[in-house]
């Protein structure tokens, strides 16, 4: 199956619509490949369609109409008083979407992001709400922008003394994941161990089982299931030790153990993994800490 590149797609969009003198109504999700065969754009395909067409036509703004008022500080189904943002950056919302925010699929904004076209998220059921505008930059500084949650996570812990001072061991581990087409979310390493997270297997459970069997042949392998990734997003959060201190102190106070932490790959986010049974409580307490007290207001005014 031949797939058009986005740039080829943009040319075809311009060609088909340049002389169109009416407002076109275009179904999302359904598409054609290079051979003219019907295909689909996968999960989030309708919003992705809007983003592709908007980028192809170089519009001034792309609107995504959904069932929520905009981008919020947390999932309002978990945190009732989650705050709505007027504006947020492409970088921030990409991180949030990848780690569980349900408003947009991670791939949706990429065409708009690449062409620097603002995207506005609006609520079909509340047309008077102005929504959230996603742009390249936001002049509104905030130490913590949002807390996202991704459930049904599995941690695979791989340990071997053979890793010590040995090159190629990590490559061997990830070659196994690659061969069975199993994608990994977070990765942490030490001298003799590697821990990775992945979505709890559904359709590809056989592939994950095969990965685990091969890993056990080269290292001690431990599986932890029913986990959740909590991602805290904010501008330059990596360089703000006060944020990390507050996260650890709060979770310790509430007797919530951190099974894994990933910091450094992105300057705007910190990801922690906790047991899924603790995830909602963790999100609610973190939201209170970062969005509902005087510290947040005072930090915002610095």
Which pLDDT score is estimated for 292?
85
Asked if residue 228 has pLDDT above 60, the reply is: yes
Residues 126 and 192 in one domain: no
Q: How confident is the model at residue 1 (pLDDT cuts 50, 70, 90)?
A: very low
Q: How confident is the model at residue 148 (pLDDT cuts 50, 70, 90)?
A: very high
Which pLDDT score is estimated for 203?
60
Residues 148 and 297 in one domain: yes
The H or E element that residue 13 is part of is: helix 6-17
Nearest to 194 by CA among 171, 225, 226: 171
Of 104, 135, 166, which residue is a domain's last? 135
3-state SS of 49-71 is HHHHHHHHCCCCCEEEEECCCCC
Of 135, 166, 195, which residue is a domain's last? 135
Residues 25 and 109 in one domain: yes
Q: How confident is the model at residue 139 (pLDDT cuts 50, 70, 90)?
A: low
CB atoms within 10 A of CB 146: 28
Which pLDDT score is estimated for 165?
67
Least confident of 21-30, 73-82, 125-134, 138-147: 138-147
Q: Which CATH number belongs to the domain containing residue 235 in this structure? A: 3.30.2130.10
Nearest to 194 by CA among 228, 160, 230: 160
Whether 60 maps to a domain, the answer reads yes
Residues 162 and 294 in one domain: yes
Give the chain's domain count. Answer: 2
More confident residue, 155 or 21: 155
Residues 162 and 263 in one domain: yes
Residues 67 and 185 in one domain: no
Whether 1 maps to a domain, the answer reads no
Residues 40 and 80 in one domain: yes
Which pLDDT score is estimated for 264?
62
Residues 153 and 105 in one domain: no
Of 100, 135, 170, which residue is a domain's last? 135
pLDDT 10s digits, 260-274: 998 866 778 899 999
d(Cα 77, Cα 74) in Å, to the nearest integer?
Answer: 9
Residues 131 and 146 in one domain: no
Give the structural domain span for 180.
141-302
Q: Which CATH number belongs to the domain containing residue 49 in this structure? A: 3.40.1160.10
Residues 54 and 190 in one domain: no
Residues 200 and 130 in one domain: no
Which pLDDT score is estimated for 140?
66
Asked if residue 92 has pLDDT above 70, the reply is: yes
Q: How confident is the model at residue 95 (pLDDT cuts 50, 70, 90)?
A: confident
Least confident of 57-71, 80-94, 235-249: 235-249
- The per-residue pLDDT of the chain, averaged, comes to 86
pLDDT 10s digits, 193-226: 899 999 887 666 788 999 999 999 989 999 999 9
Residues 148 and 283 in one domain: yes
Whether 94 maps to a domain, the answer reads yes
Asked if residue 96 has pLDDT above 70, the reply is: yes
């Amino acid at each position: 199956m031949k797939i058009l590149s986005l740039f080829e797609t943009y040319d075809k969009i311009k060609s088909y619509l340049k002389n169109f003198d009416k407002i076109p109504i275009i179904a999302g999700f359904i598409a054609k490949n290079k051979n003219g065969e019907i295909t689909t754009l996968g999960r989030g395909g309708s919003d992705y369609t809007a983003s592709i067409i908007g980028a192809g036509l170089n519009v001034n703004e792309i609107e995504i109409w959904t069932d929520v008022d905009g981008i919020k500080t947390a999932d309002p189904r978990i945190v009732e008083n989650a705050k709505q943002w007027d504006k947020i950056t492409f970088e921030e919302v990409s991180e949030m979407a990848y780690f569980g925010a349900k408003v947009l699929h991670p791939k949706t904004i990429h065409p708009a992001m690449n062409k620097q076209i603002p995207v506005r998220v609006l609520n079909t059921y509340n047309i008077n709400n102005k929504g959230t505008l996603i742009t390249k930059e936001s002049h509104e500084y905030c130490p913590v922008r949002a807390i996202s949650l991704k459930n049904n996570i599995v941690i695979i812990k791989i340990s071997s003394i053979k890793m010590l001072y040995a090159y190629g061991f990590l490559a061997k581990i990830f070659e196994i994941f690659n061969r069975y087409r199993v994608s990994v979310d977070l990765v942490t390493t030490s001298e003799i161990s590697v821990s990775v997270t992945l979505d709890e297997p559904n359709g590809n459970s056989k592939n994950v089982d095969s990965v685990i069997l091969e890993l056990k042949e080269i290292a001690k392998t431990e599986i932890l299931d029913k986990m959740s990734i909590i991602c805290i997003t904010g501008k330059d959060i990596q360089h703000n030790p006060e944020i990390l201190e507050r996260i650890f102190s709060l979770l310790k106070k509430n007797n919530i153990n951190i099974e894994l932490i990933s910091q450094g790959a992105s300057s705007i986010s910190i990801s922690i993994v906790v047991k899924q049974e603790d995830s909602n409580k963790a999100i609610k307490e973190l939201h209170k800490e970062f969005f509902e007290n005087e510290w947040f207001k005072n930090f915002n005014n610095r």
